[in-house]
A and B are shown apart, each in its own frame.
Chain A
């Protein structure tokens, strides 16, 4: 087995400071964030300079990294102040800039030390010659386009020796990144400056005489089955999509991929373990998933044709706030309905999972309740095993015991 000397990076999105902390605690080696300028998620919460500094301090204290997206396609009006902004972000302690507009690469390389430049997937880099171009420009890492197969990626890594990052999980663009302005034309929102309104998920009439609406939305990406392959071929970083995703989503997805990666390096990745993680990933997915171009020429089976089909579930029950070792009581903040008799599990940032049946539910004054039905309410449960703060309680996966629609 090759390429195991330098452990592959698990890279997570983080839409704000609390998500960033969850991502790093649940197994991300690095996070990518957007500042309040020049990021392709202009309408996410995004980070102020002070928050970027706090994010970097927190990540560095754990030996982890923070990358900032400055990957819009700049217009003239965006140029004013960009160098000052880059300097502020650099001084806040960022580890890498993710860029798509190349004019800032030289500026970063000429003016800042010990910071990397990563070329964004927005540049739609699809071949090794283009990667070599970026290498000559001083780029440290290239995030490849999502339209490539595993053999193509392998060849690029082998022949360029450039650090390669790929998306492995989350929503997909229907069009080449950077090559879509549907949003500009239909909603007047500039997709290449962070205003994408996801027009590719709209339904259209088509003049074919057929009444069925024309849609072009794609299924999401899930590459859990191929993590070992990516490690073997020398991929540097595995990226999760979704800076606007929830805390629970991030915790679940990251802990699953963390387990797959770690167990592969340790030689303990069994089919059972992989299946369990895939089941967990499936529970937080709100769309069907596919492996898209990684494994085949994407076709009609990789798209949606029957409306949005976006699902949600109520697996996520509560967040752990505290654990009282003496009383053996866990304090939680409720997120979704639960009641005594339900089989649940608490999964922790350090990777432990504690399964149990809820016997009694108490409020803060230790008065017994019939059910938990007020999101954000502080509640207490008896639990023999200690669990860490920021652990999450969910329905036990694989137990289809409850009607989730109530």
Chain B
């Protein structure tokens, strides 16, 4: 299995590599949401030394299309590993211009069934980042029924929502103050908390606990998954690296690990980042009464 790491800006990529990272995901400046953004030039430069995926996962507007076309043409002449897209304009341009670019379907909350995976596979899309709101069982069933390369997120804070609105700026404007930090924590009656932050693309809300996918990782490895995402963004530097090292160890030993050894590693991960397994083992409902 390959680990695609969303790095923190202050840590050298070589350190991540040493801890087990196989590839890195960066956001392209002004075109991504919730990824560390760098310029096109920097991406081109990094792609010569590392395996790089580039996220262009914002909602695109008419006025950006020309620029976007040029960007995709430039990237098609590099050894970039994949383009993460949300907006279908990217798929459309790649198809229309017949660009040789590996595409990663990254419609955050919509990669939820194998039929739609197969639809995008037929459109030439190679990878799909599975939605964080589906169960492990659903992910395994998707894998059985599609040849798309599925990429679950097994570490990091999950994105809950994204708006074009400047929700933080607006709130402070209303109380005639200015935001003083990049990220705020919201809490609600349920005592759950959420992280809210703004960027050029609007406002995103993330769940207040990081996903611990250690137990899931064993399942994914047992079922032959080839890729997983590890998002370091809001983790403490040392915690992120320790988790990556643990995952590297598991990758190397999973077929030999006894149930006791597996449990021990899972317990170690819980001591590092808690036991939040998101929706891997919890199914959502949508009908609260019989229709």
On A, residues with C-beta under 8 Å from B are: 36-37, 42-43, 45-46, 72-79, 101-103, 106, 123-130, 132-134, 136, 145, 147-148, 152, 155-156, 174-176, 178-182, 184-186, 188-190, 192-195, 200, 202, 204-208, 210, 212, 214-216, 218, 293, 298-300, 302-303, 305
Contacts and interface: CB of A to CB of B under 8 A. Distances in A.
Interface string B164-183: 11110111111101011000
Q: For chain B, what secondary structure do more than half of its interface residues adopt (helix, strand, loop), or is it mixed?
A: mixed
Contacts of B271: none
B133 A79 contact: no
Contacts of A45: 291
B284 interface: yes
B62 interface: yes
21 contacts: A42-B288, A79-B115, A126-B59, A129-B89, A130-B89, A133-B88, A174-B163, A178-B107, A178-B109, A180-B109, A181-B132, A182-B161, A192-B109, A195-B285, A207-B187, A210-B177, A214-B184, A216-B167, A299-B170, A299-B173, A305-B175
Given A126-B61, A127-B62, A74 B115 contact: yes
A35 to B, nearest CB: 9
Nearest to A204: B186
B207 A188 contact: no
Interface of B: 59-62, 64-65, 86-89, 91-93, 95, 107-110, 112-116, 118-119, 132-134, 138, 141-142, 145, 160-167, 169-175, 177, 179-180, 184-188, 190, 192, 194, 196, 205, 207, 279, 282, 284-289, 291
A204 B108 contact: no
Nearest to B173: A300
B115 to A, nearest CB: 4
A156 B173 CA distance: 33
B286 A179 contact: no
Nearest to A292: B165
Contact of A186 (B108, B184, B190): B190
A156 B60 CA distance: 13
Contacts of A132: 92
6 cross-chain pairs, A with B, having the tightest CB-CB distances, nearest first: A195-B286, A129-B89, A300-B170, A133-B92, A180-B161, A190-B284
A306 to B, nearest CB: 9
Contacts of B288: 42-43, 189, 195
Given A128-B62, A206-B171, A184 B133 contact: yes
Given A42-B291, A43-B287, A74 B133 contact: no
Contacts of B95: 133
Contacts of B114: 76, 79
Given A205-B187, A300-B173, A76 B142 contact: yes
A78 B287 CA distance: 13
Name the residue in A73, A125, A194 with the highest tally of chain B Cβ atoms < 10 Å from its Cβ: A73
Contacts of B179: 208
A207 B183 CA distance: 10
Nearest to B171: A214
A105 B138 CA distance: 23
A77 B174 CA distance: 44
Contacts of B142: 76
Given A74-B113, A205-B186, A189 B162 contact: no
A102 B110 CA distance: 11
